[in-house]
Structure 1
């Protein structure tokens, strides 16, 4: 694999951004699997790791397909067809992976370490194996990312907005040269410093480049190069380090008057996603009262509900964050 890519001004003109749920799944999974978690994500990891372990996702097929520190199977992060692909559309692309692509990527994975028995079904019965992979991806999303997605997506969208403004003020070349210390571009070549980030020759890939911000990609960049498609480059999004640092919000008197003290207090407690039982213990309200208030807040668009195993986690929406801060 190459660390340089022929990159003309025509390719620059076809460079675009995408906010990808499955890229976030892949980078978040790798973050949890790492021996040492980036301190910026420790609060998130402490909440999520027990759920992931209880579901067996730390030792399932994803553990083989997303090994720490090396190549991860490219079919897990399909090329985004739009700036904001849905999880459903990306999972459909995973399930549609061809046997040829699957065999090639499994062989690439096996170069670093023998493939465990858990992924043999991908060779023995690709259709069934891909369905199981998609189920694990969805389960990890539900447990580790869905309750936090509104907050994560705000950071990713802010990064894209910043890059777009940079392109408008200084030209698109400035965007590539400001992505990461490992990435540079000079008229006809895109260069990557890190050797683990490989790219196929331009004659094998599609034109342009898809840039994918990720809050979990730090400290490096990751590449996706699957002929004949345009390559992807996943890079750390600006503001990722402060993602979980939202100060605890106290409801204002005015907000309490509008929503009622109990509902305003529940919103303030949802600094991080929590269950009805957790909120009842924190606020002193009965579980039945908390459930009733949360139902009303969800119907009004102030909270969202996400199943995590046997529990349901409630999370604030962007509207709620704005009201509180």
Structure 2
């Protein structure tokens, strides 16, 4: 039993990573309605509730109706991203451009997975005018992005990019077998048949047919794993990103007092925040400091031999040197 992805030799060369603001948005919406998925995200929930004005008027019930606990979830409201650096605005444009006939069938399949949803008044309304439903759902997703995800996106993006970097290194060191072995307990790879299986209560098989597989880390999909995007969507597996447990934790709680005395509290906080490579913007958001302040601290730490920097696309990311790792962990460097 499970969702089986059958690879051909071309597919082995076309596995790649991406991240998706739209996916994180719809999974954040789902998390609000799923107490069993909220454990690591309780600090985020408290921040949302503290800003009650942000949640006022955000009626998420139409989206929740299309997110059954089991079975088909609506693909067109969270399509796999077209590239690694896609923006929410680009994904939203794709959602708005969904074919109403395709969207109707997509919604029908999702509604059928929740008893009574197809015959409910909201369900009938969605199917009666799919073009209007696409517009209204896209508008609702945009509002959800502005309230639930956009204020925290630098922190979330830093987590997702760090996960991609970690697993890219595993892929380089051990190939696909090592990569798939470390993504999720519910994922298994059979090298003899070139088959990747996601554990499921149902059975479904998909031949990749040369399209390869998109691998996408997510903060809000925890503790599960998602896959099974139907054609014409790119075959995709979404798995929980590493480090979710520390995602919402204040950095200052993890700064050793001796290090703060040595470097000064602010610079020590910056150094300890770099558990994974991150950009100035991501660090500033996480620490609650101005980007210019963080940039100045990063420059001093780099000049002192505690950081290295490398350009990735339009961003410069900073990473701790072995000496810095030793200082932040309290272990000897040699």
Which interval holds the TM-score relative to the shorter structure?
A: 0.7 to 0.9
Question: Is contact 2:215-2:236 (8 Å) kept?
Answer: yes
1:309 counterpart residue number? none
2:22 counterpart residue number? 22
Q: 1:319 to 1:206 in 2, by over 3 A?
A: farther
C-alpha displacement of 1:316: 5.0
Aligned ranges for residues 78-227 of structure 1 at < 5 Å?
Answer: 78-113=79-114, 114-115=117-118, 116-187=120-191, 188-195=194-201, 199-202=204-207, 207-227=211-231
Could you list the runs of 5+ residues in structure 1 that have no partner in the other structure? 257-263, 272-299, 305-313
C-alpha displacement of 1:51: 5.4
C-alpha displacement of 1:20: 0.2
1:276 counterpart residue number? none
Q: 1:62 to 1:80 in 2, by over 3 A?
A: same
C-alpha displacement of 1:17: 0.8
C-alpha displacement of 1:302: 9.3
Q: Distance in 1 between matches of 2:210 and 2:104?
A: 21
Q: Please, what TM-score do these two structures have when normalized by structure 2? A: 0.71
1:40 counterpart residue number? 40
- Which consecutive aligned stretches of 4+ in structure 1 deviate over 6 angstroms post-superposition? 300-304
Could you list the runs of 5+ residues in structure 2 that have no partner in the other structure? 274-280, 302-334
Match of residue 58, structure 2, among 45, 56, 59? 56
1:291 counterpart residue number? none
Question: Is contact 1:200-1:227 (8 Å) kept?
Answer: no
**Could you say what the CA RMSD is over the residues aligned between the two structures, in angstroms?**
3.5
Q: 1:321 to 1:243 in 2, by over 3 A?
A: farther
C-alpha displacement of 1:72: 1.8
Question: Is contact 1:2-1:201 (8 Å) kept?
Answer: no
Aligned ranges for residues 5-16 of structure 1 at < 5 Å?
Answer: 5-16=5-16
C-alpha displacement of 1:186: 1.8
State how many pairs are aligned. 273
Q: Please, what TM-score do these two structures have when normalized by structure 1? A: 0.72
Q: 1:45 to 1:319 in 2, by over 3 A?
A: farther
